Amino acid sequence: MTAPSSPSNGNEGCRCLNKTAELASLTERACTTSSGAPGVTLTLRSGSCAPLNYGSNICQPHDLVDDATCDVSQANNSDIPSYCFQSWCYVDADACVRDTDNAVYRSSYFPVESGVDMFYSYDACNSTGNSWMEFVERRALGGIHIKASVPSYLEPMIFKRDGEGNIIDEPGEEYYDNSVPYEGAYMNYIKEIMRIAKG
């Protein structure tokens, strides 16, 4: 991993961003936080109203402060999921993928359909997203564990196409562009699993 240039705003090449304006633009999800400040409703767990600076600007355990599941006043410490204590922030996915080896994830709280494009990284904050991924998987799969191994890039299993429709042989601009979809047998398999699972 890239060494942090500052402990508070991400790694060189994968900086924390200010996403306050994007969250404020979601007027249909506007709410008022417990402190009386304007906020945005998180979607994965109903009832959480986070301030508009949720995930913005600095590395910190944003969920510990703003996610109802992490509320220490509502549970004993053994009931608080371990992801609550991990630092993360919203980042520029293209820059992070291109310039670092930091893992970046699309926010399930604010999917593409919400009108904002939100990506976050634990790695940018010298943290790990493993506990969050495990929490999401347990909730989504009802405790069932699925393990898979996918090659990083192997045509015809998984690949991308350039602007002319040709299969990309080596990483270039399209390879790092998240708007260019992956294709291939693995992607078809995942889509079929999602269709069968209705999710």
pLDDT in tens, 141-191: 666 666 777 667 778 888 888 888 888 887 777 777 778 888 999 889 888
Question: What pLDDT does residue 69 have?
Answer: 79
Give the mean pLDDT of 11-28.
92
Q: 151: cis peptide before it, omega within 30°?
A: no
- Residue 125 CB partners (closer than 8 Å, separation 6+): 10, 16, 59, 60, 86, 87, 88, 89
Over its C-alpha atoms, the chain yields an Rg (Å, rounded) of 18
Q: Over the stretch 87-106, which tens digit does the pLDDT of each residue have?
A: 999 999 999 988 888 999 98
Say how far apart CA 76 and CA 117 lie, in whole Å: 35
Would you give the DSSP letter of residue 166?
A: P
Q: Which two tokens stand for residue 10?
A: 């991400």
Helices assigned H by DSSP within the chain: 20-24, 62-66, 93-99, 130-141, 173-176, 185-197
Question: What pLDDT does residue 182 have?
Answer: 87
Give the mean pLDDT of 64-86.
78
Question: What pLDDT does residue 24 have?
Answer: 93
39 band by pLDDT with thresholds 50, 70 and 90: very high
pTM of the model: 0.67
